[in-house]
Amino acid sequence: MTPQVPAPAKCSAEVAARWCLPVTAIATTVCFVSMFARISVLLTESFMFVSLGAEFLWLGIYGRRVARYFGVDMTGLVRRRGGGHVRAEVVSAGCSSAPLGWWRVLCVVSSVMPREAGRRWVGEAESFVFEAPGDRRVLRGLLWSAPETAAVMWWGELSRMARLALPGRCAARRGRDSWP
Partner 1 sequence: MALRMTVQVLLVLRALLRDPGRELYGLELSEETGLQPGTAYPILLRLEHEGWVTSRWEDVDPKAEGRPARRYYRLTAGGAAQASTAVAGARRGARGAALRGLAGEGGSA
Using the rule CB under 8 A, which residue among 85, 88, 102, 128 binds partner 1?
Answer: 128
**Which string of b and e fits 28-65 if b means at least 16 CB within 10 Å?**
eeeeeeeeeeeeeeeeeeeeeeeeeeeeeeeeeeeeee
Burial category of 171 from C-beta neighbours within 10 Å (exposed 0-12, middle 13-18, buried 19 and up): exposed
Does 124 participate in binding partner 1 (rule CB under 8 A)?
A: yes
Does 140 participate in binding partner 1 (rule CB under 8 A)?
A: yes
Residue 64 or 85 with smaller CB distance to partner 1: 85
* Selected range binding partner 1 among 2-10, 17-25, 39-47, 154-162, rule: CB under 8 A: 154-162
d(CA 165, CA 101): 40
Does 89 participate in binding partner 1 (rule CB under 8 A)?
A: no
d(CA 34, CA 39): 8
Using CB under 8 A, list all residues that contact partner 1: 81, 93-96, 120-121, 123-124, 126-128, 130-132, 137-138, 140-145, 148-149, 152-153, 155-156, 159, 176-177, 180
